[in-house]
Structure 1
Amino acid sequence: MKFQHFSHHHKLIFREAYEKEYECAGCLDVINGPAYICEDEGFAMHKVCAAMPPQIQKDAFHPHPLKFKLVDIIVCDACRRFSANYIIYKCIYCEFNLDFKCAVAIINDENEIAKRDDEDLRRTTTPHFSHPHQLTRCKVSPMSELGENIFKTFWQSSKLKCVACKQEVQGTLSFICLPCKFLIHESCMNDMPMQVLSSPFHPHHILHPRPFFNAREQVRCYACGKKVNGFSFYCNTCDVDFHVSCAKYRTRATKHSCHPHNLLQLGKSIIKGISCHACGHKTCNDSIFSCRKCDFNVHPKCIPLPSSFEHKRHLHPLTLTSPFAEDDSRDYYCDMCETERNPEIHVYYCAECNYIAHIDCVLSEVLEPPEEMLLDPQRMEENFDDGSLGSEMILSVSFHPHPLIRNDDYEEETIFVCDRCEELCIGSRYSCKLCFFDLDNKCATSKDETQKVREVKTIVNHFSHPHLITRCILQTEPDFDLTCMACRQRLCGIIYACTYCSRFFLHEFCLKHIPEEVQSSFHPQHPLPIFPFPSESGPPCKACNEDVEGMLFFCVACNFPMHYSCAKYQFREIKHNCHADHHLLHLGKGFFGDESPQCDACGEACKDTLFSCLKCLFYIHLECISLPSVVKHKRHLHPLVLTTLAFENDYEEYYCDTCETQRNPEHDIYYCKECNYISHIDCVLSEVEPPEKIIQCLIPRSKGN
């Protein structure tokens, strides 16, 4: 038995569905039993769910008719749950929504709604200083696999997190603004202060709340470096933003000779993704010492700290230990200064007395470790678990105060920027484990004292990439082949590189001129905003069909991803009988790069100019399409010759003399040498103004030649 459901374009077959084989597109529950199924696309519905009509009306429950809508995220007005649904029912006159389960309950029995309702979930909307719109109280329901996929499509995230504490909100009472994707725990909203008087990350100024609404710029937290969504605490004097959790974070400052500034002790909730500058490990499971001004981070085990210490304030020796929380209390205190402490950071501890003290309290009266301790290779070896530094070469140079340790990273192909010659290098280097300083082998062993070491690195936080990128120089012929993430051309000269993920590179010119969104000729319906991501490869570009790496321009509404170079590419269209269904795009050799498609006529690679229908993946050479090579046109006195030569005016700009608009210099043109007259191909072959006479045609390529 076949059945046509209003929510699916194929007919459904009624058969037995086995456990965990399908999820119902209506109620989103796992189907175990008879169901209506489309095997081609994995679509399935329970029999009772498939029986739901496309429109319902229950005047006693809601005065207006409710019509179905596909794929949406709502707060149900019956049960007040936030959920992602494949089918919802929406009022055609007002902002009233029902999830599918509540709609089924209303059809069967209005009293069934009470079974899904929650006494704590009263219909509540309220204003709050953290957001410019009214917030709706709801409960976040656990999602099925189908619901999670729908949520990822709309929310562009895999997890629902509170803008205040950054923790997940599933199963909790929360307040939400759906259009802005703003979500906050009810407890966080009630406990949020109107201002932060003294944040340890910014103690000199008061931080005031700043709500974001449709903010196009990427705002990053000054404390943890992560992107701020929806709301922040802000210092207007210093122009810095903080997450709510970071602004209120409890920490301690410690002075140490490994760094000129005070180091803050940070725990695992704030240091995700931060790497230690001593051991290089990017995963810090315990805590770190950090200078946020210099972005300097180091593990407690990687700097000279006493592992055991006798203090006059306590009878027994104190031992440095990992973050420590008492089992019998939720309040954590330092027994030395008798103030509250953060259970995420290292402490000095006496197991015999259960005595706990801040690191800075214990070391406040102790002299800093002597400089010789930092230069001792044996001491540095002890700072690593595997002791690998014991066999490494340690170098001392006159222009840097700390020892430089030889690292051989040929296998990992790690890139770095040499602080002496400023070149982008790969593989073996000498690096300082206590600060930002790297030398390539040539500069490390050079005896040229006249060569200066650059005083300041140019490191920028750019919207095109989630990590900091460094300005550097790339040799004309380096040992490794790299391309720009924007223009996809070979890199040389002054560039910007991400040394963290070792895969992101931009020409300096591209970095200065790349926009945050592109209005593309390939997708004129909507602008394409930029989506930076650190993964090696992304979805295929809708224009060239190659995987997008490092930087994506993407229309969420249409699921339309593109390279930047493709998104801004300017093309022309012609109508030709060799492909009557669609117009053909005139594309140049720079569009596809090294991956040239094959011509559908002769089978050879299209390495120069070509005509293409991207919808059908149809490609054809200029020579393989029936085009005239010499024509006479009424818009010009002399014959026009089809040529690949590019001509420019005195201002290095390229124009068509027929339509008087700018042209792409990669495209072939019709040209009169006598008058220096240049025209687009489609202008000469226009259906409105066709050529008067075709004097000569191109000789097409033969297959296999």
Structure 2
Amino acid sequence: MEIKYFDHPHHLLSLSKTKYDLIDCPICLEKLGSIGTQNYNCSTEGCKYGVHESCTKLPREVQSPYHPHPLTLRRPLIHGRLDFYSFKCNGCRKYDKGFVYSCDDCDFKLGLECAFMGPVKVIEGEGGCQGQLRKHPNHQQHPLLLFEKVPNKHYKCPVCLKYCSDPDPTYGCWECCLYLHDGSCFETKLPPQIQHFYHPHPLTLSTTPRNVKCRACYEWSWNIIWYYSCKQCEDFGMDIPCALSVLAASTTTKSESQIQHFLHGHTLSLNKNKLDDQKVADCCVCRKGCTGPTIYVCGRDGNCKNIYFHKSCLEFPQQICHPFHPYHPLTLTLVEQNFYHLKKCNACRKSIHTFILYGHCSFAYICEGHKCDFLLHAECSTVMMPVITYEGHAHLLQFRDHNIENNKLNCSACKSNICESCAFTCLDCDLNLHLLCGPLPHSIKHKYHNVHPLLLTNSPVQEELEDETDEFYCHACEEERDPQLPVYYCAECQFVAEIKCVFSEVR
């Protein structure tokens, strides 16, 4: 059997066994070998054109109830040119591929599935067409129609965020691209305003379509028509399921097993079951492994499936004032970033590894509302190492006596490596200084030895060299010290003090 097909007019197509299984059908862009055993193939030798038999049965022209003009099946035209791969469907507002039903006079296009979707014309039963049109309190501008032939994974119900598809009844408004599952979704009452524990301001029900990133589950909803947003914070949005979950949780009895916390937009549950040994579960605050019974989890699917918190990490305050950034308060919040710009802790200089798209979330103290770009690990916020001001440098310098080797820092003064040594490092830029290259005064007075001034001296000191001792102590703290680091020293009294023990006098 041979046919003449409009997309390949120069050669006849014959129904035969598929010759080229891995070639795409130009209509649906699925492989020719993916549907059935026979396709319409070009009968001319050397021509690899082929079409699924089912695709050739699509009508060349349709009349959609959503457009006044007939729609013709063709390759999509983008800016007047043929585009084989993508177009935006005016029905579901999504980008589709393959052939399209389009209007010759208007820039109107429907995907193959959306072109055959439409309202039910006749509903059998008592009352004739009663029930075909329904009104919804949150959508007063148009009635909602009962739809049939709803394509799968094209239209999301904004109440449950699950796809509408046959055979489940779907009510919708074509003009507004609003589609609802019949039943509980349609009957759900959406309050015009709610107060959510995750945000300080009231959230208002919005009905203007836009792309919304839910701040509770971190999921994007494209062109969603119903969501809750904050009138004071333009970028804060929350989808309907996450917003209503807190209302449902508020009706249950509060206990230690279920808590609401400012770090996550869903209710957290105490995980009483032992985690699988093969499952890697890191706390979102400290990024250390979660073990033991005192672990709080979200338990939802999607981006929330890897939300784990140590109970102790949930005890960090939401806002702190820290000497490393004395200019503004720091707020413990989610750190968002991309692959191309890894944010680092200003104290330890280690990266904050957090990619929400892959379920990895991290929280840190940041300076909100100011362009400081200052970030502090929650654990680093508990380390109160001294900081000083240094003449000739605009930022604070931190005294560090650990993690130098792992960070492989170079001294900005002598250009040599700072390895296994204490140092001064800038909290905001890449300035690093050995102790002797940095801003240490030559002479100080200290409360532990107020008889004579203490002089900055290389270690070991003279009497230690003469005694050939292998034990080195700080007389201020009476603990062993590193003999390779310089000290403050009184030769007359043979008093030796580590720099960190007399740091209050160095500043």
The interval holding the TM-score normalised by the smaller chain is: 0.3 to 0.5
Higher relative contact order (CA 8 A, sep 6+): 2
> Which of structures 1 and 2 has the bigger CA Rg?
2
Higher fraction of strand: 2
